[in-house]
Chain A
Amino acid sequence: MPTPAEGAAAERAIVVAAQRGADDAFSALVRIHQRRAYAIVRAIVLSHEDAEDAVQEGFLHAHRALDRFRPDQPFGAWLYRIMANAALDLVRRRKVRDADELPESIPMPFRDPAESGELRERLQEALTHLTTRQRAVIVMHDVEGFTHGEIGRTLGIPEGTARSDLHHARAALRRLLQDIRSTP
């Protein structure tokens, strides 16, 4: 198994090849990073479908900006920042569209009611009461296991802000769901 340093060197070589126009090198970067990229955008947007759109858009932006990437920097951090921005753009566009077309609607993916427990449904609803950033922070931290520092770098916010967003997001979820949780 390669060491982290060997892994980073191998990835740098792939990035340089992609910068020279090798399509298979870019495909390799997509293969390596798409799961993590999906996890980041999924933390920001409200549905799986939007996450897929944001990942595609993020990779397109990354491909266009590849010439400007300095290979001595960590590629993942650069790419995930682009992904987060693509997801935030999508959320902004959705808000504008929803404000124009469906003022009363709460965007929520369709789920078969038979498959959804009460907690799940209430959780989905409660998450829409958080700000986009609070939702992203709590999902990235509690679901994906990102550190506060990684969240800060990805979302372009100070680490302390990520910590405070997490605190407020948890407090809000506790408050919104206190009546259905089995343990107080």
Chain B
Amino acid sequence: MPHVDKTPVNTGEMLQNVVAWPIRILFKLLDYPISAIQRLIGIRRMPWLFLLPNLAFFGMFVIVPLFMNFAYSLTGGTELFLRDRPLTGTEQYGFLFDCENYADPVSCREDRFWKGIFNTSVFIFFQVSFMVLFSLITALVLNREIRARGFWRAVFFFPVLLSPVVVALIWKWILLRDGILNAFLISIGLDRILFFVSPEWAMFWAVFVSIWAHMGFYTLILLAGLQAIQPDLYEAAEMDGTSKERVFFRITLPLLWPNMLVVIVLALIKGVQVFDEVYVLTGGGPGTATQFIVQYIYNTAFTNQVQNFGLASAASMVLGVVLFVLTLTQLAATRRRDNG
């Protein structure tokens, strides 16, 4: 009678072993060259080795294009390759900044660049202000013990998952002459509104759609900040009989401020870069009412028959400087928050 092993077979463990086996082999194989390199360069320099792939990737796709863009901004003509383009020095920058009165874009030689800057500034002012305000209100509500809180959090976060083009198309269909909103207005006896013909309405919807699409992300950051505030502080305030307004302004807001700063700076950076949603929603119109700086760069480089890469690069360097300053501010804000 042969011996039969009655120990039950653990299928999960078996599967785990099967999956882990090639990984173990791979790690063993990697171990030899890495140990050799460690012996060669010493353990203190090893972090650089692990950073190298990321640094190479970052260098190739960010640093090199950045320098190339700067080089393009010092050239003219329509040739694609840098080696074929004549050097023009700072001529493109001079062209961009040739203005009689910077407050009046029409007086500038490249009026569309300044209209782009003006429109972007207006957009950022309203978009960032209302985005922060609505995100804060939403975060405060979602932080309370409300029914189906998880569901509501998902609802507010859902638009963040959508592609900007999808967001813009959905709203375009709603706002068109024969769209759902106009059908509703007519059904309640009001007149149809041609939203994309009026500069004010077009800017309003550009701001609104952008807030609708991105608010969930910023709400999440603020919600995390709210949940990090110690409940004891609120309990102590309650025991002291502090009013709700005072609790908000003296406890919640000061402790949430580092998160708020991150939200403001991130929203500013995203606002300066705005392009896809508005391009699909309004096409930059009516006229140039919603043409922002990134669309100006795109049009200058690609949509004209004479593709002016030099001027577009100069404009994107100006944009790059603005973004760099904003990014430094954001880093400083994050550092301040982390240091308490």
- Co-assembled chains A and B: no
Binding site for B on A (CB under 8 A): none
